[in-house]
Amino acid sequence: MVDVLEEKNYTRLCATKSMLVVNGMFPGPTIRVRKGDTVYVNAINRGPYGVTLHWHGVMQPRNSWSDGPEYITQCAIQPGTNFTYEIDFSTEEGTVWWHAHSDWTRSSVHGAIVVHPSEGTTYPFPEPDGEEVLVLGSWYTGDVNEMVQADLKAGDDLPDSEAYTINGQPGDFCPCSSDSTYRWHVDYGKTYLLRILNADMNAELFMAIAGHNITIVGSDGAYVKPFVTNYIMISPGRTIDALLTANQTPSHYYIVARQYNSGIISYKVFDHTNASAILQYNGNYTAPDKPEFPTTLPSYYAIDATVNFTMQFRSLADEDHAIDVPLNITTRMFITASVNELGEKSYLRMSSSFNNISWVNPPVDVLTAYYRNMSGYYTSDFPDEPPAFFDFTGMLSANTSASDFGTRVKVLNYGEEVEIVFQGTNVINASINHPMHLHGYTFYVVGQGQGNFDGEKDPKTYNLVDPPQLNTISSPKNGWVTLRFKADNPGVWLLHCHLDRHLSWGMNTVLIVKNGPTAETSLREPPANMPSCAIESNIKEAVDDKSLTG
């Protein structure tokens, strides 16, 4: 496959801008494979700046080299150059996705990956009559990377989107948008497999379809026990697979997505738009003056709706879809997730942290430094717990707001069974949900709850029978979530909040999983054509020198 990255003009919200896209498409092309396939994608960069691509939810066994996050497993593919990614599918089945993993370029560079069952197997539910991909995204009327860099330099908050989108379109409730609203055409009586992904930059989203229930059957490339719902809440980075039967009176029905704001209710500065598409029945009937609106769509601050939906996920855990929850934990990590401030009152800047450490990108990617045993680019001392324990969810004093900075990683031995508890904090009164994503792995979400994690009581509530197997999970506002996995994929893997605002401020770290005892349990050798960090450094130095002199 060939992915050509180049700029193209798009008009939304009454304004036209140029932005980087893949193969002239926004959202980008859907990749369709079968479970266990290997796919090669030649990324040709004809854009004006460096870029990388990440295959979100694809575990890439022993192949960190093609995972994609800039500064972690590679340096950027520079303009006028190319790099071929090897995408190795293993246990994934369902919907995962791909996106840029450099700056905020993923706002326009992203798309779905549909992983069909392997040859000779089928779905754990009746074969659907058709399928549909819905990509939820965000729209910025300006150049988002320029806006982000200006805000970071000034110490300002990072930009909010001007609209949310469904398959690239804001829909009927946004200016200059009703003529291009996306329409999904269905036949009465047929059942469709709906594949939904949240490619938005910074918002968890509610979505509902007027007049229709859906049956959730999968998430993050794995099947779940089916359950019926009339809305979803989906975090950035998550995918959800659902069955919809077109069994209502033939007409037009709105599909609407809006933000779930887990911040304080008094905080009103966020994107309030309702993105919309239309589910339209085929056939002869009198079309309504306007489609029906989904009355089941929760409000912006509906935390109960979020909890009720999230807690229904369970792994299928049957004979054909066995699970293996780690029970003999050898490494326990307790990680606080905080939004922080630094500087003096007259000039405060935002940061974010894990265990009070804000990540600093190195000049050479961590994977190269690790593989070549290069010293000075990172330290192996990311802590297993925060520097101090206190009432993380209470009203906190100002002396808890500052974070340290560093490129500090956690090293795991091959085969370790790991438990991570993420604890949300209310530092600077800014507790919100944090969608946590681990590259190279899926994990079992064995427990979650509100308040401060209690190491004696809360583990007694863990679900070790059929916990959902995910690659992204929200650590709840003023609460905790526990995940488990076995460290059996050697390499360098990013762990981060999937709100790009927080990623830009440093809410990430890296897990290095050491080689196992055999070649088959060891990191592969790097491909010959890895993008050069030296080229990127020289370009950056030239740009910096120019900005200083003129």
Alpha-carbon dihedral sign for residues 455, 460, 462, 465: positive
pLDDT band at 262; cut points 50, 70, 90: confident
Mean pLDDT on 493-521: 97
Beta strands in 414-456 (DSSP E): 417-424, 434-438, 443-450
pLDDT band at 266 (very low <50, low <70, confident <90, very high): low
Query: What residue type is 228 in one-letter code?
Result: V
Q: Is the pLDDT of residue 198 over 70?
A: yes
Domain boundaries, the chain: 1-121, 124-322, 331-516
- If you ran DSSP here, which 8-state letter would residue 25 be given? B
**Whether the predicted pLDDT of 398 surpasses 70:** no
d(CA 98, CA 140): 20
Contact between 133 and 139 under an 8 Å Cβ cutoff? The reply is: no
SS3 548: helix
pLDDT band at 399 (very low <50, low <70, confident <90, very high): low
- 334: amino acid identity, one letter: F
pLDDT at position 353 over 80: yes
Question: For 99-111, how does the pLDDT look when each residue is reduced to its tens digit (9 = 90+)?
Answer: 999 999 999 999 9
Q: What is the pLDDT of residues 14-48, one digit of tens each?
A: 999 999 999 999 999 999 999 999 999 999 999 99
Q: Does domain 124-322 have CATH number 2.60.40.420?
A: yes
Rounded Cα distance, 548 and 537, in Å:
16
CB 315 within 8 A of CB 484: no
- The predicted pLDDT at position 538 comes to 40
Residue range 361-383, pLDDT digits in tens: 999 999 999 999 999 999 999 99
Q: Which two tokens stand for residue 141?
A: 């009327």
pLDDT (0 to 100) of residue 401: 65
pLDDT bucket at 548, cuts 50 / 70 / 90 = very low
Q: Could you tell me which of 111, 126, 46, 56 has the C-alpha nearest to residue 78? A: 46
Give the global pTM: 0.94
Q: Which CATH architecture has domain 1-121?
A: Sandwich (2.60)
Query: Across the chain, what does the average pLDDT equal?
Result: 93
**What proportion of the chain, given as a percentage, has pLDDT over 90?**
87
Strand order in 232-234's β-sheet? 183-186, 275-281, 252-260, 204-209, 232-234
pLDDT at 214 over 70: yes
| From the candidate CATH numbers 3.40.50.150, 2.60.40.1120, 2.60.40.420, 3.30.2040.10, the one assigned to the domain spanning 331-516 | 2.60.40.420
* Among 264, 262, 410, 430, residue whose Cα is nearest residue 337: 430
Q: Nearest CA to 318 among 484, 487, 482, 125?
A: 125
List, for residues 294-318, the tens digit of each pLDDT value: 999 999 989 999 999 999 999 999 9
pLDDT by residue (tens digit) across 319-349?
Answer: 999 999 999 999 999 999 998 877 555 456 7
Distance between CA atoms of 346 and 30, rounded to whole angstroms? 48
